[in-house]
Amino acid sequence: MRNLLKALACLVASVVMAVQADNTFRIDQTFGGEVPSEGEALTLKEAILSLGEDTDSFLKIEGQVTEVCQAKGCWMILVDGDTYARVTFENYGFFVPIETSMQRSVIYGQLSERTLSGEQAQHFAQDAGAKSTVELHGEIKEYSILARGVQLENRS
């Protein structure tokens, strides 16, 4: 029964993302600094493909927010298909609402690849609301965006 509910939730999320993917992005909320209006936003996959070119540059990256820190909104997960990046906020200077999940977003920030320790991964899992006491061991590689500004599109 639990697996059926998970599968149903994934199906609903996929349908929502597919329906929204055809619509023009509409800015409903902005957090942090300004996201430049000039220049097109790259998909997360496009940004990752260009990662080796210039790691110090700021990019506009678009995707779907699927997870947010439930403790205080201090990080979120941006997804593009089967690719994801953890988004944190420059100088810990702003947060996003904890109910931001399942909103399309444009992020203005620096993309990098980093390695999390098992302890860091466990901390993020707990922040996301995981109640598991299973300890994560070993290193986990993930993409990371240090955001200077975040634009969110309302779910409605």
Q: Mean pLDDT of all residues in the chain?
A: 80
Give the H or E element holding residue 12: helix 2-21
Residue 75: domain span: 2-152
H helices, E strands: number in the chain: 3, 7
> Higher model confidence: residue 121 or residue 146?
146
Nearest by Cα to 152 from 63, 83, 70: 63
Residues 65-89: what's their mean pLDDT? Answer: 93
118-144 pLDDT, tens digit per residue, is: 777 777 777 777 655 556 666 778 899
29-60 pLDDT, tens digit per residue, is: 999 999 999 999 999 999 999 887 666 789 99
Number of independent structural domains in the chain: 1
Q: How confident is the model at residue 101 (pLDDT cuts 50, 70, 90)?
A: confident
**CATH code for the domain in which residue 57 is found:** 2.40.50.140
pTM of the predicted model, to two decimals?
0.72
